Every structure is written in C-alpha cells, then in structure tokens.
C-alpha cells in the first residue's frame, strides 16, 4: 500500500511525542542515579559507625563470648532477590534472576524465596523460584528504612515458621555509570564470624579508647540487628541506583533509535512532499497546455 503524506505526518508526530517522553524519563533516571548514589554512600558511612561499635564490644575477649559453630550447608536457607517494579530498565531483572538461579542451586535445603520488585517476582516465577513474600522496591530514599524493617521482620518469621538459619541477598551492585552494575550475593544472616574476628583484632584509629555502660548481652544483639538493617538499607540503595542507571542506558538507546527513525521519516516526508508538489505543477502545466490548445483551435475555427 502506498504511504500517504498524511499518514507519514501522523507517524512523525507520534515519534516526536515518544521522543519527548523518553527524554523526560532519561532526565528522571539521571537524577535518580545521583540521588540513590548518595543514599548508598550514606549507608556505607553508617555501616562504618556500626563496625566501630562492634569493635568496641568485641575487644578484650568479647569475641570469645560469641556462640561457636558454623551453620551447616544443609541448614534451611532463604534467598531474597532484589530487582525492579517495572520494565523499561534494560536486562537488570534478567541478570539478577540468572544469578539467583545459580545461588539457589548452591543450597539444596532452600526453604523460602523472597522478592523485592513486582517485575522481578514475575521473572522468578518463570524460572521456578516462586516467591513466598513480595515487597515493592521503594521509589524514594525515605521509604528504604521502613521497607528494610519489613524484610527483617519477615526474616524473623521465617526462622520461626521454617527454621531458616541462613539468609542470602541477591541484588545488582552498582559499579559506575560507565560499567553499570554486577549481580552479586551477600549474606544477611548469620553474621560472618570472620568479619567479627577481624573487627575484634583491628587497631583503634585513635589513642582514645571508647567504652560502654550497657550490658554486653543487651548491647551486642542490638548492634548486630543494626548491622543487618544497614546491610539491607545498602542493598536497597544499590538496587535502586542500578535500576536507575539501567533505565538511563535504556532511554539513551531508545532516544537514539527514535532520532534515527525520525530522520528517516522526515527525509521520506520531504521526498513525498516534493513529489506531491511536482505532480501539482505537472497538473497545472498540463491544464495550461490543454487550455492553450483549445483556445488556439477556437481561433482557427473563427
């Protein structure tokens, strides 16, 4: 079917509107990348403060007071996977799900799967990892803390209901704007004993040694819970900045594609318009020639 000038103009108008939408989404993604980068940095700073507190309570034999024994590989395990709520953010969910499948294969005793992000949850179901619990990925930094509390409370319920002893986090860890993200795994519980051992033997950074007055049996569990919360907070922030960065890349690619299509359609529009003008001129010339011929015939007959 021959393409009309009017049809092409409507397509150009639609593509121009779509270009405006993608430009707006790209701008929002760029803002979110920076905003969530700062949130991830703040979480890392708070984590260093928690480490200082743990270092204080673990020094002078505090590490020896910890219960001994590692969690067996056959112990019931839970995996919480982090991704996006919506599409238009590139392959981030697909990459994280592939990493989660590998992680799930490591633990034959996998008891529970949790999902952060509606779109991610749907992709987990496709590969057979049906989430028992789901949460939305926060849209703002302010919503990270309450969402982290919800996940931690649900983890407590998993321990009571399923006997879960190990909780693993699978999420996209942001690297840089040039490299994007890498799907990684981190352990939420139990707390890494090697990490605690390193804290107990680490040199204090100043000559003034802090102390505490709260009972050790009360203070240490609170610090461990705060460490778990800040771990979740950082994971949420890393996921949010990775999703925003992936969406930024997707919008860049979409903009380039739309701009190329617009260039081709505008070139075609010019060709059709020129052809239409040429046809109109030919009609005018042909009509003039017909009128001239008829008038010449009338003069000859007269």
> What are the average pLDDT values for consecutive 10-residue runs of the chain, which has 302 residues?
71 82 77 78 87 88 77 91 87 94 94 95 95 93 93 95 95 85 94 89 86 88 93 93 84 79 82 79 74 65 56
Q: Domain count of the chain?
A: 1
Tokens 């599409």 belong to: 87
Q: Is residue 295 part of a domain?
A: no
Q: Is residue 141 part of a domain?
A: yes
Q: Is residue 1 part of a domain?
A: no
pLDDT of residue 1: 40
Spatial separation of the C-alpha atoms in residues 78 and 60, rounded to whole Å: 34
* Residues in contact with 255: Cβ distance below 8 Å, sequence separation at least 6, in sequence order: 19, 22, 23, 26
- Domain carrying residue 60: 26-253
**CATH number for 213:** 3.40.1380.10
Q: Is residue 87 part of a domain?
A: yes
With left for phi above 0 and alpha for psi between -120 and 50, is residue 161 left, alpha or beta? alpha
Could you say which DSSP state residue 148 is in?
H
Q: Is residue 298 part of a domain?
A: no
Q: Is residue 151 part of a domain?
A: yes
Q: Is residue 173 part of a domain?
A: yes
pLDDT of residue 211: 85
Beta strand 180-189 with 166-176: parallel, antiparallel or unpaired? antiparallel
**pLDDT, tens only, 32-56:** 777 777 888 888 888 899 999 999 9
Spatial separation of the C-alpha atoms in residues 167 and 165, rounded to whole Å: 7
Q: What is the dihedral of CA 13, 16, 21, 27, to 10 degrees?
A: -160
């Amino acid at each position: 079917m021959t393409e009309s000038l009017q049809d092409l103009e409507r397509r150009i108008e639609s593509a121009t509107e779509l270009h405006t939408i993608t430009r707006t989404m790209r701008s929002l993604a760029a803002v979110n990348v920076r905003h969530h980068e700062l949130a991830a940095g703040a979480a890392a700073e708070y984590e260093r403060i928690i480490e200082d507190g743990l270092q204080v309570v673990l020094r002078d034999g505090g590490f020896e007071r910890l219960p001994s024994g590692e969690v067996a590989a056959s112990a019931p395990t839970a995996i919480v996977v982090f991704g996006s709520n919506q599409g238009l953010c590139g392959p981030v969910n697909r990459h994280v799900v592939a990493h989660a499948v590998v992680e799930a294969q490591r633990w034959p005793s996998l008891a529970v799967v949790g999902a952060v992000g509606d779109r991610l949850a749907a992709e987990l179901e496709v590969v057979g990892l049906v989430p028992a619990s789901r949460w939305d990925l926060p849209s703002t930094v302010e919503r990270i803390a309450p969402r982290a509390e919800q996940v931690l409370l649900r983890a407590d319920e998993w321990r009571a209901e399923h006997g879960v002893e190990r909780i693993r986090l699978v999420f996209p860890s942001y690297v840089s704007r040039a490299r994007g993200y890498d799907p990684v795994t981190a352990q939420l519980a139990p707390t890494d004993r090697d990490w605690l051992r390193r804290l107990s033997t680490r040199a204090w950074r100043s000559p003034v040694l802090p102390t505490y007055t709260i009972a050790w049996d009360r203070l240490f569990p609170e610090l461990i819970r705060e460490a778990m919360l800040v771990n979740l907070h950082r994971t949420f922030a890393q996921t949010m900045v990775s999703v925003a960065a992936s969406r930024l890349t997707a919008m860049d690619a979409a903009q380039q594609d739309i701009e190329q299509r617009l260039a081709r359609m505008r070139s075609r529009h010019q060709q059709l318009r020129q052809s239409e003008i040429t046809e109109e001129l030919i009609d005018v010339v042909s009509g003039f020639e017909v009128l001239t011929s008829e008038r010449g015939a009338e003069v000859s007959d007269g």
